[in-house]
Structures are given as structure tokens and as C-alpha cells.
Amino acid sequence: MTLPLPTTLDEARRRGWDQLDIILVSGDAYIDHPAFGVPLLARWLESHGFRVGIIAQPDWRSKEPFMVLGRPRLFFGVSAGAMDSMVAHYTPLKKLRHDDAYTPGNRHGARPNRACIIYTSRIKEAYKEVPVVLGGIEASLRRLAHYDFWEDKLRRSLLLDAKADLLIYGMGELTLLALAQRLRDGESITGIRDLRGSCYLSRQAPDAAVHLPSWDQLSTDKVAFAEAHRLLEHEQNPYCGRILAQRYGDRQLVCNPPALPLSAKELDAIYAVPFSREPHPCYREQIPAFEQIKRSITTHRGCFGGCSFCAITMHQGKFVQSRSLSSVQQEVGRLVEKGWFKGQISDVGGPTANMYGLSCHAADRGHGCRRPSCLYPAICQNLSCGDAQGAGLLRKVRSMAGVRQVAVSSGIRYDLLEHQPDYFRELVSHHVGGLLKVAPEHLVSAVTALMRKPDGAIFERFLARFRDESAKAGKRQGVVPYLMAGHPGCTIESMAELALALRRLRLTVEQVQEFTPTPGTAASCMYYTGIDPSSGKQVYVARSDRERRLQKALLLCHLPDERAQVRKALQGLGRVDLLRRLETLLAGAPLAVAGSSRTRPPATAKAPR
Ligand code: SF4
């Protein structure tokens, strides 16, 4: 049996450890499973001989909860958890959420707002001289000056605001391990300046650095902010990205190039590390995030898509890194041994399920590619999008002993599916389970272009083929489209057009995601500046709550309550023409899920990406 890592000094002593080397502090509960970043990093460091402890969801109102494991020999690592703490706490309309899926009992309030800043401050109160290293998605996406939606203003790099010693961005395994080894070998953290995937503060920027607009410029000039984002995206290719520097008064925030993508062998080594695959035994209540992932297998990381609203590319990187088939099979084997496993695997995928095994032919040739997306505006010819590995993986996993059913519930890129006939067939014939969730997000090309997503024509081709393949497989199954309201570029007219297109395609939705300008994305830059950073062109942005609500209501106008709101709002806007068109269509055929005899899809949880 694999014991969890220590969370108290007693647990550490039971392992014969009188002092820990590294303590990781997290805003999430401690679930000893590779799907969660802090436990994954902790186990990874442990497997390299470090004594690691975890302080999960400490009470941040005093320093004592940060001292339960004593003073670490090397450093504290701090993460807000699997989500940015502001995203975790507030809805897109800035209302306080009442739940938290990463906390036992789904309770809100187990972590503070701006967790990285608060945790670092308490640690520094307790152990002033111990280095603090920031990591996780909150640190990654806030590594440079960024727009903060909740304060509706720019904020400085998190490294300055938190007063930490180093910031690690991206997935971090290699960077964190190298840091731990060098500190163990006696180097000072102030001298470690060359780690890929890290940011530090300095009086001087390296000679080779690309200078982003300074904090003073950004504070007064939105065009400069859009330019800073463009430069950041241009330097995200780890094979050719350069060092970035951003001046804050007399200091420079230096951001080293991203860590190189992991090989399959390196990724396999990480997933070979033993985990108990359970929440820490101290918890008495269920943790929703664990219940959601405990029967799922992560097969790869990274996403070639580069959607402008998505944090994945800026955190995991655009190069997909896939585990080997045998590594995935070993994990399935461990899952099958669990007493609670009844043969159903809830997901086999990653950020985008059908990117398993995909690669860029030119990736390691130093070709200097600066495209933020490998799929938009068209699939790059250097991208190998064959489906042999993806389809083979699905076949192998579902044929394993103890496995009865395998679902694919990660997002699917349907533009890629046009090049993946075998995967498409496997998916439709064996892995949909009635309803396939796909995320076109929008179908109007002026909006999908800003999202860097495929347009409506590609979605319609996919839908036709999905129906066709389902019929061939003798399956009655449909598509649940995930859509977004309020994205930059999205107007009342484009939402009405989308509603009309959905009606024409006989698709209906029950939930619509409202765009949230999360830190560090291209879409957030558009929201703040009104400028598309890629083209420099002006972009329309719906800012008022009223318009954002109306955009959402337009997609839900088959529901009586929403329809009344839409009617009133469109009349108020003098858009009786749109109202008439919508009402004419709504008076037509009964609502149906495409390709299905069902009249409504079941309530859906959240967008797959
Ligand atoms: S060359 Fe093409 S596939 Fe490779 S990283 Fe650039 S856009 Fe992506």
C-alpha cells in the first residue's frame, strides 16, 4: 500500500524523517493522484530522493498552520491549486460561488482570494529566510503584467506582488527538480537564473532579452499591453522562444523561455511514480473533483489548438506530449485493482482527446515557428494529425481485462477529426455513450476567427458525418454543443445568428458558458484593450452585465423564462427584426438533439475545455 506524503510532523516522523527538504502548500485538498498538480510534483520530487510534505488548504489567517511541518531544509513551494483562486471563487458576473470542487464536502471558503500572495506572506512571517517558489496555474498565467477582471485593472507580475523568490510556470516537473537538486548542492536561489520555465527579479535584464513594454507604459497605454501580449505569444515556442524582460521601476522581471516538452519516456517516468490514488485519509467527506476524475486516465498534455480564451496553451504549451501506450495500460491496470472500480473508465484523453500521439514534424529543428495555433486559420502542414496512435489506444484500453466500458469525455477538435477517420469511427462506435460533448463555442466566423476556432461550416460537416457514422454503427446518439456568450467580437447580432444556426441544425443547449477574461489569455487582452493582439485591429467587446446576460439568453430562448427576457431586450434595442426571425423559427419543429430521438439533452456540467 502506498502511504500518502506527510501532512504533519508525526506522519513525517513515522517515515523516519526528522526534517523535510521541501514543503508544498496548496489551495486544494490533498488528493494523492497524478491528475492533481501539487501531489504529482511532490511524488516526483520524492522519487528523486527528496523528503517532501504537503500542507493542503491551510487556514491563512495566521502563520501557525504553515508551521505544522516545521522549517524545510530547501524551500517552500506555493500553489493556489488546480484553478486560479479568483476563478474558483467568482462567477463570470463576479458573484461569489458557494461551492468548491477541490474541497471536501464541496464547501466554499477553504482558500483565500489571491492564494499565492496570501500563502507566501504567511510563510515569510513564519520563516523569513526560507525561499518561496510560486507555481501552478495562478502563478503561470500571472507571470507577467496581466489584466485582472475582478479588479478591472492591470496587475503586476505575481512574483512582485507575492514577494516570492522565484516563479515557475508551466507544468514544472523538470524545472522544479533541477531547482531542488541545485539548492541541495549548495547553490543559493538568488544565483539560479538559467532555469527554463522560471521567472525572477533582477536589477538588470540579460543582454539577449526581448524587452516587453515596461509597467509604466502598460499602465497608461492599452496598445502597449496588446503589443506585450503579442510578443509573449511569439516567444512561447520552447524551441526558439527568447528570454523576456519587463521593467518595474529599477527592477526587471525576467522570464526565461518555456521548459522543453517532455519525451514519452520522461512523461512515462512521471506517471510510473507510485500514488495511493485516493484523497488523504484525514478527509471524511467526498471531494467532487476526485469523484470526477478517479476513473479517468490522462494520456497526454498540451494542445495544438491555441484557442484565444483558453489557458492551456499558456500553461501546458502547444506541443502535445503523449505517454506511451504501455504506460497508459499500466495505469489502467492499477485502476482495475481498485475495489470501487466496476469496469467503467470515464475518460481517456487530455486537454483535447483526439490529439493523443500528434506531433509537429518540424518541432525540434529550431524552425522558429511563431504561430500561436497550429490549427487556426488552417491546420499546419507540419502537424502530423494521423489517428493510428489515438485509435489504437482506444482499442487497446477497452480490450483490457476488467474494463467493460470506456468513455471519451475530454474535448474533441472536430476539424482534426476530418483527418482521423479511424479515430472518428472508434469514437462514434464505442466511446460516446449516447451524447458527445463538443465545443464549437460559436458558429459565426467573425467570432470563431477571434477565438481561433473552426468556423460553422466545419462544424456542420462534422455534424453530418457524426450522424452518418452513428447510423452506420446502428447507434442512436447525439451531440451536445458547448457554446460561449460574451467573447470579444461577439455582438447581439452574432449571438442571434448563432441561435438561428442552432435551430436550423436542430440543436439545442441547456447551458451556455459566459466568457470570463481569465489572466494571461489573448481573449482577456482583447477584453481589456479592445484590440486583437495578433492583428492589432479593434474588436467589439460586450462589457455590461445586461448585454452579457442577453447574449447568453439568446441561446436559451427556447426556455420560456429566457424567451421573455430576450423579447423585452430586443424590443428595447429596436431589433424587432431579429426577434421576428427567432420567433418564427421557435414556432417550427420541436426541439431535438441532432441525430437523436431524444427531445432534450441531459443537463450538462461544464465546457470540456
Ligand atoms: S510548424 Fe506548424 S505544427 Fe509545428 S509548431 Fe508551428 S504551427 Fe504548429
| pLDDT value, residue 609 | 31
Pairwise pLDDT comparison (570 vs 148), residue with the higher score: 148
The 3-class secondary structure across 328-360, one letter per residue, is HHHHHHHHHCCCCCCCEECEEECCEHHHCCCEE
Considering the chain, what percentage of its residues have pLDDT values greater than 90?
83
Distance of alpha carbon 307 from the chain centroid: 11
pLDDT, tens digit (0-9, with 9 covering 90-100), for 290-337: 999 999 999 999 999 999 999 998 999 999 999 999 999 999 999 999
pLDDT, tens digit (0-9, with 9 covering 90-100), for 97-108: 999 999 999 999
Taking alpha carbons only, the member of 453, 444, 449, 454 closest to residue 539 is 449
Pairwise pLDDT comparison (579 vs 265), residue with the higher score: 265
| One-letter amino acid for residue 448 of the chain | T
DSSP strand pairing (153-155 vs 405-406): unpaired
Q: Of 360, 365, 534, which is best to mutate to test ligand 1, by the most ligand atoms within 8 angstroms of its C-beta?
A: 360
What does the pLDDT average to over 423-440? 92
- Cβ-contact 183, 75 below 8 angstroms: yes
Ligand 1 mean position to 384 CA, how many Å?
A: 10
| pLDDT value, residue 607 | 33
| pLDDT value, residue 404 | 96
Residue-wise DSSP of 293-334: HTTEEE-EE--S---TT-SHHHHT-SS-EE--HHHHHHHHHH
Question: At 264, phi and psi to the nearest 5?
Answer: -60, -35
Which ligand 1 atom minimizes the distance to the CA of 369? Answer: 6
- Cβ-contact 59, 65 below 8 angstroms: yes
DSSP strand pairing (251-255 vs 198-202): antiparallel
Write down the pTM of the prediction. 0.93
Q: Give the residue whose CA is nearest to atom 7 of ligand 1.
A: 374
Res 591 pLDDT > 90: no
Which ligand 1 atom minimizes the distance to the CA of 380? Answer: 2
pLDDT, tens digit (0-9, with 9 covering 90-100), for 357-389: 999 988 765 568 999 999 999 999 999 999 999
DSSP class of 187: -
Q: Give the residue whose CA is nearest to atom 4 of ligand 1.
A: 360
Centre a 10 Å sphere on the Cβ of residue 130 and count the other Cβ atoms it contains.
Answer: 17
Cβ neighbourhood burial of 9 (10 Å; 0-12, 13-18, 19+): middle
Grouping H, G, I as helix, E, B as strand and the rest as coil, residue 460 is helix
What does the pLDDT average to over 44-63? 98
Distance of alpha carbon 355 from the chain centroid: 15
| One-letter amino acid for residue 550 of the chain | L
Grouping H, G, I as helix, E, B as strand and the rest as coil, residue 432 is coil
Res 590 pLDDT > 90: no
Ligand 1 mean position to 595 CA, how many Å?
A: 35
What gap in Å lies between CA 293 and CA 284, rounded to an integer? 18
Q: Of 383, 384, 416, which is best to mutate to test ligand 1, by the most ligand atoms within 8 angstroms of its C-beta?
A: 383
pLDDT, tens digit (0-9, with 9 covering 90-100), for 174-214: 999 999 999 999 999 999 999 999 999 999 999 999 999 99
Which ligand 1 atom minimizes the distance to the CA of 319? Answer: 5
Q: Which domains does the chain have, with CATH numbers?
A: 9-192 (3.40.50.280), 470-609 (no CATH)
Ligand 1 mean position to 238 CA, how many Å?
A: 12
- Cβ-contact 102, 287 below 8 angstroms: yes
| pLDDT value, residue 368 | 83
Ligand 1 mean position to 234 CA, how many Å?
A: 12
- Cβ-contact 81, 114 below 8 angstroms: no
Residues in contact with ligand 1 by the CB-under-6-Å rule are 304, 360, 362-363, 369, 371, 374, 380, 382-383
What does the pLDDT average to over 336-349? 95
What does the pLDDT average to over 266-287? 96
What gap in Å lies between CA 246 and CA 255, rounded to an integer? 8
Grouping H, G, I as helix, E, B as strand and the rest as coil, residue 568 is helix
Q: Which residue has the cell 440543436?
A: 507
Q: Of 371, 384, 415, 416, which is best to mutate to test ligand 1, by the most ligand atoms within 8 angstroms of its C-beta?
A: 371
Ligand 1 mean position to 328 CA, how many Å?
A: 26
Q: Of 234, 260, 321, 380, which is best to mutate to test ligand 1, by the most ligand atoms within 8 angstroms of its C-beta?
A: 380
Which ligand 1 atom minimizes the distance to the CA of 237? Answer: 5
| pLDDT value, residue 599 | 29
- Cβ-contact 533, 589 below 8 angstroms: no
